[in-house]
């Protein structure tokens, strides 16, 4: 083992330890932060009537909501007098 290789290993170790410690400290700080407050009023207040389109709320199945794990789910169908139908789903993730 040459002197140059030993010096490179020491330099690498001297850089790696503070980087790992810094990463660990940053992870700890992020873990301790309060969760974001989610204000979903704007989404909940989306109009049920848009022009000639009339909307109806459609509740998601509890199992589906658990799988999606969104902070807020909105599902609707909008029907036009001419018979056209549009399905709308919005899943909001505050993170």
Q: Report the SS3 class of residue 33.
A: coil
pLDDT band at 67, cuts 50/70/90? very high
Considering the entire predicted model, what is its pTM? 0.58
Q: Look at residues 12, 83, 86 and name the one whose alpha carbon lies nearest to residue 50.
A: 86
Higher pLDDT, 23 or 56: 56
Domain spans in the chain, listed from the N-terminal domain onward: 1-33, 38-95
* CA–CA distance, 37 with 95 (Å, rounded to integer): 10
């Amino acid at each position: 083992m040459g002197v140059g290789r030993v010096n490179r290993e020491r330099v690498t170790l001297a850089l790696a330890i503070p980087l790992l410690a810094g990463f660990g400290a940053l992870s700890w700080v992020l873990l301790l932060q309060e969760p974001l407050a989610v204000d979903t009023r704007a989404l909940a207040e989306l109009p049920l009537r848009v022009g000639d389109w009339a909307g109806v709320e459609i509740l998601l199945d509890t199992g589906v909501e658990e799988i999606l794990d969104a902070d807020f789910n909105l599902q609707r169908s909008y029907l036009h007098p001419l018979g056209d139908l549009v399905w709308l789903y919005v899943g909001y993730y505050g993170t």
